[in-house]
Chains A and B, each alone.
Chain A
Amino acid sequence: MITSHVGPLTYEKVDVDKALKAALNKSRSEVIGTVSSSGLKGRGGAGFPTGVKWNLCAAAQNEHKFLVCNADEGEPGTFKDRILLTDYAKLVFAGMVIGGYAIGATKGLIYLRGEYQYLRAQLEEILEALREDKLLGFNILGKDDFSFDIEIRMGAGAYVCGEETALIESLEGHRGEPRNRPPYPVDTGFLGQPTAVNNVETLAWVTTIFDKGAEWFKGQGTEKSPGLKIFSVSGDCKQPGVYELPFGVSVADLLKTVGGEDAKAVQIGGASGHCIPAKDFGRKIGFEDIATGGSVIVFGPQRDLLEVAINFMEFFSDESCGQCTPCRDGCPVILKGLEAFKRGECSIAHLHELRRLGETMQLASKCGLGQSAANAFLSITEHFADEVLGRNQSNGFKE
Chain B
Amino acid sequence: MSDTKKTSNTPEKGRGEIANWADSENAGYEFSFGADASRAPVSQRRQMIKAQQVEGKIGGLVKVTIDGHEIRVPMGTTILDAAREAGIQIPTLCAHEDLCIAGVCRICVVEVEGFRTLQASCAYPITQPIVVHTHTPKVRQARRHIVSLMLANHYGECYTCKRNGNCELQNLAEQYGAERFLFGHPEEPLFEKDLSSHAVVRDMNKCVLCRRCVRTCIDLQEVGVLEAVERGAHTRIDTFMSKPLADVVCINCGQCINRCPTGALTANDPREEIWRAIDDPQKHVVIQTAPSPRAGIGECFGLEPGVPLTFEMNTALRECGFDAVFDTNFTADLTIIEEGTELITRLYKALVEKDEHVALPQFTSCSPGWVKYLEHFYPEYIPHVSSCKSPQQMFGAVIKTYYAQHKGIDPKDIVTVALMPCSAKKYECNRPEMNDSGFKDIDYGLTTRELGQMIKEGGMHLPDLPKSDFDDPFGTATGSGVIFGASGGVMEAALRTVIELVTGEKVESIFEHADIIPVRGFEGIKYVELRVPKVGPVPALLKHLVPNWDWLDGATLKMAVVHGTANAKRVMEDIKAGGKFSHCHFIEFMACPGGCLGGGGQPIPTNPEIRAARAKAIYSEDAAYEVRKSHENPAIIKLYNEFLTDGPCGHVSHKLLHTHYTKRGKVIN
Contact = CB atoms under 8 A, between A and B. Distances in A.
Interface of A: 158, 160, 165, 169, 172, 174-175, 177, 179-183, 188, 191-192, 316-326, 328-333, 336, 353, 356-357, 359-360, 362-366, 371
A117 B81 CA distance: 46
A365 B146 CA distance: 10
Contacts of A363: 109, 117-118, 138, 142
A360 B141 contact: yes
A183 B232 contact: no
A322 B103 contact: no
A333 B149 contact: yes
Contacts of A353: 182
Given A179-B43, A365-B106, A322 B146 contact: no
Given A356-B141, A356-B145, A158 B231 contact: yes
B43 A165 contact: yes
Contacts of A160: 231
B232 A174 contact: no
Contacts of B42: 179, 188, 191-192
B103 A366 contact: yes
A360 B145 contact: yes
A372 B4 CA distance: 40
A331 to B, nearest CB: 7
A357 B143 CA distance: 11
Contact of B232 (A188, A322, A359): A322
Nearest to A333: B183
A137 B101 CA distance: 38
Lowest 8 A-B CB distances belong to which pairs?
A: A322-B235, A179-B43, A329-B149, A180-B123, A320-B232, A332-B233, A364-B142, A360-B145
Nearest to B107: A325
B120 interface: yes
B149 A364 contact: no
Contacts of B125: 182-183
B435 interface: no
15 contacts: A180-B43, A180-B124, A183-B43, A319-B232, A320-B233, A321-B232, A323-B228, A328-B233, A328-B235, A329-B152, A336-B184, A357-B145, A363-B118, A363-B138, A366-B106
B635 interface: no
Interface of B: 41-44, 47, 101, 103-107, 109, 117-118, 120, 123-125, 127, 138, 141-142, 145-146, 149-150, 152-153, 182-184, 208-209, 211, 227-228, 230-235
Contacts of A357: 145, 149, 182-183
Given A322-B228, A357-B183, A364-B146, A331 B233 contact: yes
Contacts of B228: 175, 322-323
Contact of B117 (A318, A336, A371): A371
Contact of B150 (A192, A325, A360): A325
Contacts of A364: 106, 109, 117-118, 142, 145-146
Contacts of B107: 325
A380 to B, nearest CB: 20
A333 B146 CA distance: 12
Taking chain B's interface residues, is the majority helix, strand, or loop, or is none over half, making it mixed? loop
A332 B153 CA distance: 11
A182 B233 contact: no
A158 B230 CA distance: 11
A366 B141 CA distance: 16
B10 to A, nearest CB: 17
Nearest to B125: A182
Given A172-B41, A362-B117, A363-B117, A326 B145 contact: yes
A177 B44 CA distance: 11
Contacts of A182: 124-125, 127
A174 B142 contact: no
A192 B14 CA distance: 14
A6 to B, nearest CB: 33
Contacts of B231: 158, 160, 318-322
Contacts of B104: 323-325, 366
A363 B144 CA distance: 13
A180 B44 contact: yes
B146 A360 contact: yes
Contacts of B149: 325-326, 329-330, 333, 357
A316 B234 CA distance: 12
Nearest to B230: A322
B142 A326 contact: yes
Among B106, B183, B227, B232, which residue has the most Cβ atoms of chain A within 10 A? B232
A11 to B, nearest CB: 34
Nearest to A320: B232
Nearest to A362: B117
B43 A188 contact: yes
A330 B228 CA distance: 18
Contacts of B145: 326, 330, 356-357, 360, 364
A371 B103 CA distance: 15
A160 B125 CA distance: 24
A329 B152 CA distance: 8
B106 A180 contact: no
A148 to B, nearest CB: 23
A375 B186 CA distance: 27
B349 to A, nearest CB: 45
Contacts of A326: 106, 142, 145-146, 149
B226 to A, nearest CB: 13
Contacts of B44: 179-180
A158 B105 CA distance: 21
A221 B572 CA distance: 62
Contacts of B234: 318, 322
A323 B141 CA distance: 20
B105 A325 contact: yes
A188 B43 CA distance: 8
A321 B105 CA distance: 13
Given A179-B41, A180-B103, A317-B232, 6 more contacts: A320-B231, A321-B232, A321-B235, A324-B104, A324-B106, A360-B142
A328 B141 CA distance: 17
Contacts of A316: 232
A333 B44 CA distance: 28
Contact of A328 (B41, B120, B209): B209
A333 B152 contact: yes
Most chain B Cβ neighbours within 10 Å, of A172, A321, A363: A363
Q: Which of B149, B184, B231 has the most chain A CB within a 10 Å cutoff?
A: B231
A181 B44 CA distance: 10
Nearest to B178: A353
B498 to A, nearest CB: 45
Contacts of A325: 104-107, 146, 149-150, 208-209
Contacts of A177: 41
Contacts of A371: 117
Taking each of B43, B149, B182, B228, which has the highest tally of chain A beta carbons within 10 Å of its own beta carbon? B43
A325 B149 CA distance: 7
Contacts of A317: 232-233
Contacts of B120: 180, 366
A56 to B, nearest CB: 14
A366 B211 CA distance: 15
Contacts of B209: 322, 325, 328
A177 B103 CA distance: 12
Contacts of A158: 231
Nearest to B40: A174
A199 B107 CA distance: 32
Contacts of B105: 324-325
Nearest to A190: B42
A188 B232 CA distance: 26
Contacts of A322: 209, 228, 230-235
B101 A180 contact: yes
Nearest to B45: A192
A331 B234 CA distance: 12
A320 B183 CA distance: 18
Contacts of A333: 149, 152, 183-184
A358 to B, nearest CB: 10
